[in-house]
Amino acid sequence: MESTESSYVSSPEAPRRRSSPPPKSPASDTMEKPTYVRFLVSNAAAGSVIGKGGATITDFQSQSGARIQLSRNHEFFPGTTDRIIMVSGSINEILKAVDLILAKLLSELYSEETDDVEPRTKLRLVVPNSSCGGIIGKGGSTIKSFIEGSQAGIKISPQDNNYFGLNDRLVTVTGNLDEQMRAVDLIVSKLSEDPHYTQSMNAPFSYPAAYNAMSYGPPNGTGGKFQNNKEDRSNSVTIGVADSHIGLVVGRGGRTIMEISQASGARIKISDRGDFMSGTTDRKVTITGSQRAIRAAESMILQKVSYASERAME
């Protein structure tokens, strides 16, 4: 069961194994210094990482020597419907734990019989904005060397000003498991050299400020967000979505909007063609329900829209 006391859940901290791993290099100090990595997983994937009664997460902690923590149900990274996993320990412990987690998720997503080609997937790391410069390097030299060294695709999201107080960016690593693990090794080793990065290991993990933002700027096709002036019980919010993106929100035969409504528990109504938010060409999307349901539905809608914008820019 997930704890209600902490923002993050984890099974009891795994006892540190005394048998030290074979040193990768003479400079083993960096390898042993406690650090951490955070990445996103879907709600369903989070369940398989925890396992029945916390059995899987306990096993992974025991095998790796790392500590594994997860954000609670409905505590998502802003603009997504994904939970956050934080893995902490020495670099070797972290790499072992991340490898165990990703291998488990892959085995559940892809059955052995499909084909011999290893699937290429996306892993989204959460990195403080202040530490992204170290990964990029002068003129992009570091990130280029990481891409060459790992053979994985590595992309850093622009800073998202839609969410007031959000100081993290997403570093997307694309490749098969081996490529992703090589990239994670390079990225975490680099991050652990940054004293500011390791200092933020004990910072709070929830993003309350993200949901207090009163407007979403045009970059990902959304207009202003307005709280309706009705009694609080009605909990109705209207956001604007670019006319060209409405099809993504609705889905074929209305399937997507029904799924979002069912998953979030909110009612969603889209204005007719030509009925735009004042001064824009954005259609009105009205979300009604509890505050939690509204937040969940809004995150799902914004995620659909931002993915479309990312693809259009590529």
How many CA atoms within 13 Å lie on the side-chain side of 215? 5
Lowest mean pLDDT among 52-61, 113-122, 291-300: 113-122
pLDDT of residue 282: 84
Exposed e or buried b for every residue in 53-70, given b needs 16+ CB within 10 A? ebebbbebbeebbbbbbb
Cβ atoms of 42 and 122 closer than 8 Å: no
pLDDT of residue 6: 38
Q: Is residue 135 scored above 90 in pLDDT?
A: yes
pLDDT of residue 61: 95
pLDDT of residue 132: 92
Q: Is residue 196 scored above 60 in pLDDT?
A: yes
- DSSP annotation of 26 reads S
- Which residue, 51, 35, 152, is CA-closest to 93? 35
pLDDT of residue 263: 81
Q: What are phi and psi of 311, to 5 degrees?
A: -65, -40
- Residue 75, C-beta contacts closer than 8 angstroms, at least 6 positions apart: 7, 83, 84, 206
pLDDT of residue 258: 84
Task: Give 163's pLDDT tier (boundaries 50, 70, 90).
Answer: low
Cβ atoms of 164 and 204 closer than 8 Å: no
Task: Give 179's pLDDT tier (boundaries 50, 70, 90).
Answer: very high
Average pLDDT over residues 171-200: 91
State the Cα–Cα distance between residues 296 and 254, nearest whole angstrom.
Answer: 18
pLDDT digits (tens, 9 = 90+) for 5-47: 334 444 444 444 433 444 444 444 545 678 999 999 988 888 8
pLDDT digits (tens, 9 = 90+) for 211-232: 323 222 233 333 444 443 333 3
Stronger pLDDT, 274 or 8, i.e. the higher one: 274
* Residue given tokens 């990902």 in the structure block: 220
pLDDT of residue 229: 38
State the Cα–Cα distance between residues 131 and 197, nearest whole angstrom.
Answer: 6
Q: Is residue 77 scored above 80 in pLDDT?
A: yes
Average pLDDT over residues 106-135: 80
Stronger pLDDT, 46 or 164, i.e. the higher one: 46
Lowest mean pLDDT among 71-80, 88-97, 123-132: 71-80
How many CA atoms within 13 Å lie on the side-chain side of 87? 29
Please report which residue ranges of 151-290 form alpha helices under DSSP H.
177-192, 195-199, 246-250, 255-264
pTM of the model: 0.59
Integer CA distances (angstroms), 250 to 134, 148, 253, 291, 304, in order: 40, 40, 8, 22, 10
